[in-house]
Structures are given as structure tokens and as C-alpha cells.
């Protein structure tokens, strides 16, 4: 339906079916608007000739364009979801991107959010519930994890990831000149530069795995 007149619901009518679109600026509708099925350019709404909103399929609404939500504060909810029987939201996210989950019959209790530059955080526990799955840490230059080969019982690991408060875990991956694993320790460190691994045996040439973890 294309009409240059103001478009509104007749008295006592709560739904209107359109075969085209209402395009007149300032058109106002009160009630339910039902549009024909179809993709962009077939059914749905076209706004400003370049923005579309239409039915993708059963219970599916789609746009090929950016959907922007603006609220007064970053902590304001941007979107939330629940099922009909719920008394509270099961999932919601705020303008600042914080995501929260709950049981549906009480407030949200689990979260995931940005806690600083390049830092994702949660105030809750994180569980890996399938055996054989786990965390993966990238190794390489200036990494948080890697291996080092001892020379005469020591090795200097160069990495900008180490800090003055880093917890550094060491494990012998393979033995070198020793026949049994020897005690290992971090005997020196320079924040943002390197740390030194030292074996209790000055002849040790074992390969040592190391992992840096920072306290929260």
C-alpha cells in the first residue's frame, strides 16, 4: 500500500495488513502492523531507501544494516531475553558490553565484562565441563608460556610479559644430562624483560616448560 495521506487504524481495528509500504513522512499507526513475508525488497520495512527490516522466516526478524542502541549510561541494559514463564531475564547485556546470565526466576548472577585495556573479566568461576577440553595459550615472542633449554643448569627467558609480581610455574619437559628431574627455581627477573631459570644441578641441560600467571 502506497499512500500520500496520513495512515492510521480505523476505530476498533488493532491490526493492518499491507501489500507494500507506507512511505509518507510522519505516518502514525497505533496497533499491530502485519507485513508480507519475504526478503529485502520483497516484504518488510524499507527506511530511507537503504535500511531494511524484514521477516527472514518463522519467528525470525532480520536486517542487513547496523542496529544501534543508545541509552543514557553505559550500565543501562541494551538487550535482554527470557521465556514466558520467567519472572526475570535469563540473559542481558549493557551498553558497555557487559553480559550477564541468570536462572529466569531471580536476578542475573553470572557475568563477563571488559575490565581494562585488552582485559576480559568475570566475577564468577569458569568451568570446562567436557573432559579433553581446556585452555590454550599462544607461545612465541614475548609470550606468557613457552619452553627453555638449560645450559650448564640455567636459562634466561626473554619476555616482556613477565612482571614483578608474576607467578612463574616450571616443569621439566625432557631430561638432558641428568637422569632424574632436579629442583628448579626462578632465581632472577627483570620486569618487562626476562627471568632466569636455575636447576639444582649445574650440569643440567633439560628442557623446561614455563607458564606465567598474574594475580588478579
Q: Are strands 110-116 and 119-121 parallel, antiparallel or unpaired?
A: antiparallel
Q: Is the pLDDT of residue 91 over 70?
A: yes
Percent of the chain whose pLDDT exceeds 70? 80
Q: Which of 8-22, 32-46, 108-122 has the highest mean pLDDT?
A: 108-122
In this predicted model, which residue has the larger pLDDT, 1 or 203?
203
* Boundaries of every domain in the chain: 77-121, 145-213
Predicted TM-score (pTM) of this structure = 0.74
DSSP state of 165: T
Q: 3-class SS at 190?
A: strand
Q: 3-class SS at 96?
A: coil
Amino acid 158: pLDDT = 98
DSSP state of 70: -
Task: Say what the alpha-carbon torsion angle 39, 43, 47, 50 is, to the nearest 10 degrees.
Answer: 40
The CA-based diameter of the chain, rounded to the nearest angstrom, is 95
Residues 146-162 have pLDDT tens digits of: 999 999 999 999 999 99
Amino acid 55: pLDDT = 85
CB atoms within 10 A of CB 66: 6
Mean of pLDDT values over 190-204: 98
Mean of pLDDT values over 85-101: 97
CA distance 39 to 22: 17
DSSP 5-64: S---PPTT--EEE-SS---STT----SEEE--S-STTTSSEEETTTEEEEEEETTEEE-S
The mean pLDDT of the chain is 87
In this predicted model, which residue has the larger pLDDT, 78 or 31?
78
Residues 6+ apart with CB under 8 A from 177: 203, 204, 205
Mean of pLDDT values over 193-208: 98
pLDDT band at 23 (very low <50, low <70, confident <90, very high): very low
Q: Is the pLDDT of residue 18 over 70?
A: no
Q: Is the pLDDT of residue 173 over 90?
A: yes
Amino acid 32: pLDDT = 67
pLDDT band at 144 (very low <50, low <70, confident <90, very high): very high
Amino acid 6: pLDDT = 37
In this predicted model, which residue has the larger pLDDT, 3 or 139?
139
**How far does Cα 71 stand from its chain's mean position?**
21
Amino acid at each position: 500500500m502506497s499512500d500520500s495521506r496520513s495512515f492510521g487504524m480505523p476505530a476498533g481495528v488493532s491490526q493492518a495488513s499491507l501489500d507494500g509500504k507506507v512511505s509518507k513522512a510522519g505516518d502514525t499507526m497505533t496497533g499491530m502492523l502485519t507485513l508480507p513475508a519475504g526478503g529485502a525488497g520483497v516484504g518488510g520495512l524499507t527506511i530511507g531507501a537503504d535500511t531494511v527490516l524484514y521477516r527472514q522466516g518463522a519467528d525470525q526478524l532480520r536486517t542487513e544494516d547496523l542496529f544501534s542502541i543508545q541509552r543514557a549510561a553505559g550500565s543501562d541494559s541494551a538487550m535482554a531475553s527470557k521465556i514466558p514463564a520467567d519472572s526475570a531475564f535469563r540473559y542481558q547485556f549493557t551498553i558497555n558490553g557487559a553480559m550477564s546470565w541468570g536462572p529466569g526466576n531471580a536476578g542475573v548472577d553470572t557475568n563477563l565484562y571488559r575490565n581494562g585495556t585488552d582485559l576480559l573479566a568475570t566475577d564468577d568461576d569458569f568451568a570446562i565441563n567436557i573432559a579433553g577440553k581446556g585452555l590454550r595459550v599462544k607461545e612465541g615472542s614475548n609470550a606468557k608460556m613457552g619452553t627453555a633449554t638449560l645450559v650448564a643448569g640455567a636459562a634466561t627467558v626473554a619476555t616482556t610479559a613477565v612482571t614483578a609480581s608474576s607467578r612463574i610455574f616450571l616443569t621439566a619437559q625432557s631430561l638432558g644430562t641428568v637422569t632424574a628431574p632436579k629442583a628448579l627455581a626462578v632465581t632472577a627477573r627483570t620486569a618487562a624483560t626476562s627471568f632466569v631459570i636455575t636447576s639444582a644441578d649445574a650440569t643440567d641441560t633439560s628442557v623446561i616448560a614455563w607458564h606465567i600467571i598474574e594475580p588478579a
